[in-house]
Structure formats: C-alpha cells, structure tokens
A and B are shown apart, each in its own frame.
Chain A
Amino acid sequence: MNWIPWLLAGWLFFVGIYGVISSRNYVHLVGCLAVVQSSTYVLLLSVGYRQGAGPPIFFHIPPGRAVDPVVQALVLTDIVVGATISALLLALALQVHKVKGTLDPDQLRPLRR
C-alpha cells in the first residue's frame, strides 16, 4: 500500500485545523474548514483505490478489476455535505458582516454569562 495519500490526508487535516484555530477572518475560516474536509476525500479515495484497476463502470463491459465504487459514492455524499456547510457558513458570515461590520472571530463573541 502506498503511504503518500495517507500522509497527504493527515497533512491536510492538521494544516486545515491549524488554519481554523488561528484564523482572523470568517471567510478564511470557511476555506480552512474545506481544507480539513478535503482530507476526508483523500482518505476515502485512497481506501478504495486498487493499483492498475479501472473505473467501476460495467455497462457493456464484462466485470473486471475496478476501484471500489462504494467509497466513491461516499465521497460524492461528502462533497454534497461540504457544499451545504460552506454555503450555510458563508451566508451566516454575510449576515454577521451586515450586523457587526466585522468578520474577525476575536471581535465576534456570542452572549457571555
């Protein structure tokens, strides 16, 4: 098994998390969250990858060696989730900017006490 995709997934996860923790702008933060999510795409795709196998499309072709179609379906679902969350967060960021005039998480604190 090739270890490069695993390393990449781990790298994307932690670099994205670092971005989320240190971000000073919500739009940037949404981008970082998308980076964290990309790590799950890489992880899932590498789970299903078979060396030298073809795409999992068997129409008119006798079933042969193919990469795992299940994880590809999972990634597709994952992408839909990612799009929903990014859209929602960006819409919230837009509204916050309208109300408060800033997108810096340090200046946006929900109710205390």
Chain B
Amino acid sequence: MTPLVPLPVAVPITVAAFLLASGHFLPRRVPDLLAMATALAMTVISAVMATRSVSGPLTYWFGGWSTIGAQVVGIRFQVDPFGAALAAFAGLLFFATFIFAWGVFEKIGALFHVLMLFFLAAIDGFVLTHDLFNLFVWFEVMSVAAFSLTAYRLEASALEGAMNFTVTNSLASFCVLGGIGLIYLRVGALDFSALSQAVAADGGDPLFLGSFALLATGFLIKGAMVPFQAWLSDTHAVAPSPVSVIFSGIMVPVGLFGVVRLYFSVFAGSGVITTVLNTLGLWIGVASALLGGFMCLTQRHLKRLLAFSTISHVGVMLAAFAILSAPAQAGFLLYLLGHGLTKGALFMLSGLLLATLGGIDEIGLRGLGRQVWPAGIAFAVGGLLLGGAPVGLMDEGTRLIDAAASQAHRDWAALACLLASALTGGAVLRATGRIFLGWGKVAGEEERGPSEQEQEDANRPLWLLLLPAVVLLCLALAEGGTIQRYARLAVVALMSPGQAAHAPVPVPKPPHPILPWISTLLALLIAAFDLFRDRIPHSILVTNDRITTPLRHLLEPMHSGRVGDYVAWIVAGLAMLAIALSVAS
C-alpha cells in the first residue's frame, strides 16, 4: 500500500509541470480534461488509502531516509484515516470545480489548471505529512497558489483583495516558521513523534508554549478565526467563483485542521495548552461563529455574504475541536465535509448568477433570478442546510458536536452555534427569496450597490453550470450513517497517532431532536423578517435596529479593508494567545 502514499502530491505536481511546459501547444480542452482526470484519480487514491489506513498508518519515508538509531533523520508522510479522508474530499471538490470552470479561464491557457493542481498537491501534502517543516512547506505552496488565483481578474478590487490576502497570510507563515524555530531549539527534531515525546516530558516549558502560540496564530490566520478573520471576506468576494469554492470548501477548514493535527500529534501532552484550547479556543470558535453569522446578515454582495458565513461555520468547527473529546472530533470531520459540499455548491451558484445575470448584488438582482429558477431551488436547499436543517452530513456533524458539548457541560457553546447557523442560513434564504422570488423590495437602495461591475464568462450552457453544484448538494444531503461511523473510527487514529483504529468511538447521548428544527425555523424567521420589513410593526423594527446598529458600528470597522488594521488585529490576537498561555502555566 505504501507506494500509493506520495502519489497525491507527486502526480498533481507532475501534471502541473507538464501543462506548464506544453500548455501552449495542447488543444484547447486538453488541460481541462487532464486536470479533471488528475483530480479524480487523486480522489480515488486518497479514498483507497482512507480505507486501508484504518488498520494502521501507512508510512512513506521520502528518499528512503528514515531513522538512525532512535533519531529520525528523514521526512515521512504518515497516512491516517482522518487525513486521507480530507485528501479524498479535496480531490472531489477540485474535480467538481474543474467541471464548473470548464473553459472559463481560456484566456490564460493552462495556467489556471497549473495553479489549481499545485493547490491540490499542497492540500494533500498538508493533511498527510508527519513532519513539522514539511507541513510549513505545503502551507506555503497552498498560500502562493491561492494568492495568485485571487488576483486573476486584475481589476482594482481583486488586486486589493489579493494584496490583503498575501500580506496577512504571509505573516501567518512567518509566525509558523518562528514557532518551528522555537520548538526545534528545544527538541532538535521536526518529526511529530519526536516532538510529541519531548512535549509530553515537559509540557510547561515556555519554549513549547511560545512555539504553540506562534504556530496556532499562523494556522488560525489561515482558518480565519476572530480576530484574524478580516482578510477572508475581502478575498472570497473578489476571487473568481471557482476559486472561492476551493477557498471556502477546503482551504480555510484545512488551515484550522493544522491546529487540530498539531495538537493531537504534538502538543496533547501539555496540560497548559490543553486548558487554553479548552477555554480560549472554545470562546474564539463561538465568537467567530456569531460574528460571521451577524456580519453575514448585513451583506448584500452575495459572495461576501457567503464569505462571512464561512467564518461562522469554521468557527463552529473550532468550537467543536476545542471540546477536545473524541465524538466532538468526529463531529468536526462530518461538519467540515458537509459544510464544504454545501458552501462549494453555493459559491458555484453565485458564479452561475455572475455568468448568466451579470451581477452579484442581492438587491440589484431582485426578481431577476426567475429566468434561472432551478438555481433558486438549489440555493434554497443550500440555505436550509447551512441553517441546520435536520438532514445530511452537516446535521450528522452538528448532532455529534451538540452531544459532545453537552457531555462536556458546554451546552451554551452548542446553543451559540445553533444561533450562528440560523443567522447564516437566514441570510442565504433571504437572498434566495429576494433574487429568485422577487420578494423584499428595498426602496431607493439599488444605486448604493457594490461599486464595480462584475461579470464572469457566460460561455457555458446552464446545465453545465448547475450540474456540479447539484451533485455537491446531493452528496451533502446523503444519508450520513456510513460516513458518520467512518468519522468515529478516524478520530481514534487522529487522537492517538500511529495507532490502528480498532473500534469507533461510541456516540454520546444525542441532543433533543427538536434542536435542528428550532434552528431551521429561526433561519426562516430571520429571512422572512428581512424580506417582509414593510409588513412588520414599526416598533419591532425600531427595537431591532436599536440592537443591531451598535453591533454593526462595532464590527464593521474591523473589516475596513485596510491591511494595516488587519495586521494590528493579528498582533492583538497573538498577544491574546500568549497572555492566555502564560496565565494558564
């Protein structure tokens, strides 16, 4: 089985190199087909590894260098079911995106495919590696591919978004590198197993704590958690929609997975770090979930709206991880998969609107969506799923997270996450009602839309635009029983690295079955509130504004679009982590 292990990174990079060299001579559709075939092949290989690795990790030493005595001298990939499942999911999402982007990037030849394949290789390497510096290298490859893809349109807003993205995320990689330096100083190794032994021996060592603060800051910037989140909305709003699919669907959650992997593979032996994650980590997650949900509701630019909902849902994932118990991690995986499929589909549908209707402004598009009504149905399904409807993978994940939260006496966190889902679901449903049904007329608001005229190439038939989104939604709706069992198996190997996953962790007592219905109902109410403002008594509107206006004035400056502000928030976040760690020790 081990010969398969390096393929998820080796094959995409080889194909990318080939396309880069020969892109000019190839017939037009060959890069599209080749990229699709590669992504599909990587999905299959990763899925095979995901099933085989259940009986024990698959290890591959690069260049045959492994250990001399007890000292690790090589770099290895160690495939565990959790990482392999993420790699398979990444391949699937890239495959769907390549279908969706069929012929869109003709102007730049095969360059889009080259960057995307490097992106895929980097994500796969990131989730499979067992070496800290190797992790950094894949993190960096992922970032650079993402930076260049964001700026594709070369218009002012895209360039500015890409610059904010590049500056903040470069700082993230410098933080990671600083963290690597500190831990290497103490341990003199970079292999996860060696690091983990050293941390277990002396978990309170200030060097380890400092290293963790820097590493966590780096990965939380990529994971767009409060207070590091501001770059995300700028970037997702302006990137081409196929690229936004990848950003929201897999890149941002995988950034957060960096923290998960590091904690369980390296830092779990430190009581101080465990305490900090269990308290501060949970708060950061809940704060991100609520902030994302609230900001989501105040947007009218559809992709920006979806971007904030990504912050919210990744916040739920962080909260799930921060509970630190095994069922919560299984919930994390299921939630990640369900969210990636749903959000990917929603970004594709906004790309469809950009291509067919030539706009993305919710208010400007009011009622225009009727011409592409099938997209409206898909949009509504996506909104309901985000809002916590009791069906599909996300719901499967939510139930595990809620159960784990109540087991850990953190019911408040589960309730906050429920509210956040309702807010984001409500926002998406509101947009659906306005664009596809023509509800919610806003007088005199049309001219205050986003400044720039946006349009994506409309060189594809409607069914081709719809197909990948519908397939992703169907997968998100799939009966999650098998995947849920697999997730409960995968966490065993995640939480004790190097072990086989013998038996799935038990399901804790499920939460009350009415919770998802409350969440869905709340989402529908929120959507209806915004759509039918003219029929709601004036006094209620005034009360609502009295609560939301100060919140908006508080949160909007945080997303000013000025990169200096974002960097200041990053420093504040780093300081917050450092203070929490020193207080806890």
A44 is contacted by which of B163, B177, B300 (Cβ under 8 Å)? Answer: B177
Q: Could you tell me the distance in whole angstroms from the C-beta of A11 to the nearest C-beta in chain B?
A: 14
Asked if residues B567 and A111 are in contact (CB atoms below 8 Å), the reply is no
Against B, the Cβ 8 Å flags (1 = close, 0 = not) of A36-72 are 1101100110010000000000000000000010110
Q: Do residues A47 and B185 form an inter-chain contact, with CB atoms below 8 A?
A: yes
Cβ of B510 under 8 Å from chain A:
no
For A13, A44, A108, A113, which residue has the most chain B Cβ atoms within 10 angstroms? A113
**In the docked arrangement, what's the CA distance between A113 and B157, Å?**
13
Could you list which residues of chain B lie within 8 angstroms of chain A, going by C-beta atoms? 133, 137, 140, 144, 147-148, 151, 154-157, 159-164, 166-167, 170-171, 173-174, 177-178, 180-182, 184-185, 188, 190, 234, 237-238, 298-301, 304, 450-452, 560-565, 567-568, 571
Q: Tell whether A99 is near chain B: CB-to-CB under 8 Å.
A: yes
A7 at the interface (CB under 8 A from B): no
- How far apart sit A105 and B160, CA to CA, in the bound complex (Å)? 9
Q: Is A8 an interface residue (CB 8 A)?
A: no
Are B181 and A111 in contact, with the CB atoms below 8 A?
no
Contact partner of B148 among A37, A44, A71, A88, CB < 8 A?
A88
Cα–Cα distance between A96 and B154 once the two chains are bound (Å): 8
> Are the C-beta atoms of B147 and A95 separated by less than 8 Å?
no
Q: Which residues of A does B touch, CB under 8 Å? A: 13, 17, 20-23, 26, 29, 33, 36-37, 39-40, 43-44, 47, 68, 70-71, 74, 77-78, 81, 84-85, 88-89, 92-93, 95-96, 99-100, 105-106, 108-113
Smallest beta-carbon distance B115→chain A, Å:
12
A33-B170, A74-B180, A105-B564 as given contacts; A92 in contact with B159, CB under 8 Å: yes
Chain B min CB distance to A25 (Å): 12
CB distance from B540 to the nearest CB of A (A): 24
Residue in B133, B184, B188, B238 whose Cβ sees the most chain A Cβ within 10 Å:
B184
Task: Tell me how many residue pairs across A and B have CB atoms closer than 8 Å.
Answer: 125
18 contacts between A and B (CB under 8 A): A20-B567, A29-B563, A33-B167, A33-B171, A40-B178, A44-B177, A71-B181, A77-B137, A81-B173, A85-B166, A88-B147, A88-B148, A95-B151, A110-B164, A111-B157, A111-B237, A111-B450, A111-B452
Asked if A92 and B564 sit within 8 Å, CB to CB, the answer is: no
Contacts of A39 in B (CB 8 A): 174, 178
Query: Which residues of chain B are near A70, meaning CB under 8 Å?
Result: 184, 190
A40 to B171, CA, bound (A): 11
**CA of A96 to CA of B300, assembled, Å:** 25
Q: Report how far A68 CA is from B180 CA in the complex, Å.
A: 15
B279 to chain A, nearest CB (A): 27
> What is the bound-complex CA distance between A109 and B557, given in angstroms?
12
Residues of A contacting B564 in the complex (Cβ-Cβ under 8 angstroms):
20-23, 105
Distance of A110 from chain B, by nearest CB (Å): 4
